[in-house]
Structure 1
């Protein structure tokens, strides 16, 4: 059976992040734990745990914290979740386009490096070595 309440240390350990990261997410309004006792210990419920899981997934996909907050907050104001889904698709499409551009850039960089490698290998085979670069 899953827990109903989690401490900041338990969540940090479970998700492999620091307690400072969790406190930051709280500071920017992504999480809102309850405070317990005089010590004010943070206690997170299942909802907070789920939100943290979504935050980390969103970060892995490259979304900004503001985008993640907007997508998560839409869940609470859009019972049918249609606007949340539309917004998530729009952000996802933009991110896919960014990734495709990165792939194109990396492919060009790879081709350029392979061309230099071919040239340098040919220079070594011809016996020119490093001084061959100065002659040109």
Structure 2
């Protein structure tokens, strides 16, 4: 069985088998993102792939899970800084309770922003409906006047 160590410079306790890893192209295809996006998240320290002896990147289940969280966070409207804080930026064991507290804090803030936006949109809808009704009413008045003038002109001839 082919074995790969997580970092070529400093052996770690974790030994990963070939079946546990995927390439950057496979990861990009799995999540429907570009390889450039994955490298960007790596540059930001949000994921940290291992390297083969030939210096090629490889990704593990942990990297997949982190990328899934990053993309979910983006979909929910979190900033990269918020996502990084939620998922933890280090390779050391991240306190799950602390991670959940941060996720809840950011989630509550995001929900408040969404509710505020919904309220603003409801006010906008109300204003647009009122304007629409006013313009519709005015148009009907003008059409009645036009029809009245047409009738008067017809009988004047």
TM-score normalised by the shorter chain: which range applies? 0.7 to 0.9
Moved over 2 A (4+): 35-38, 74-77
1:4 aligned residue (8, 17, 20): 20
**Residue equivalent to 1:30:** 46
Counterpart of 1:76 in 2: which secondary structure? coil
Counterpart of 2:59 in 1: which secondary structure? strand
For each residue in 1:86-129, what CA deviation from the matched residue of structure 2 results, as whole angstroms up to 9, or x when unmatched? 1111111111111111111111111111112112222222226x
CA distance in 1, matches of 2:26, 2:131: 50
Which range moved further: 98-107 or 11-20? 11-20
**Residue equivalent to 2:125:** 110
**Residue equivalent to 1:77:** 94
TM-score (normalizing by structure 2): 0.71
Q: Does 1:44 align with 2:59?
A: yes
How many residues are aligned here? 123
Which entry has the higher C-alpha Rg, 1 or 2? Answer: 2
Give unpaired runs (5+ residues) of structure 2.
1-18, 144-157
TM-score (normalizing by structure 1): 0.81
Aligned-pair Cα RMSD in Å: 1.8
**Residue equivalent to 2:36:** 20
1:59 CA drift (Å): 0.9
Counterpart of 1:31 in 2: which secondary structure? coil
Which range moved further: 93-102 or 115-124? 115-124
For each residue in 1:46-87, what CA deviation from the matched residue of structure 2 results, as whole angstroms up to 9, or x when unmatched? 110010001011111111111111111178231xx2111111
1:95 aligned residue (88, 110, 113): 110
Give unpaired runs (5+ residues) of structure 1.
129-136
**Residue equivalent to 2:155:** none
Higher helix share: 1
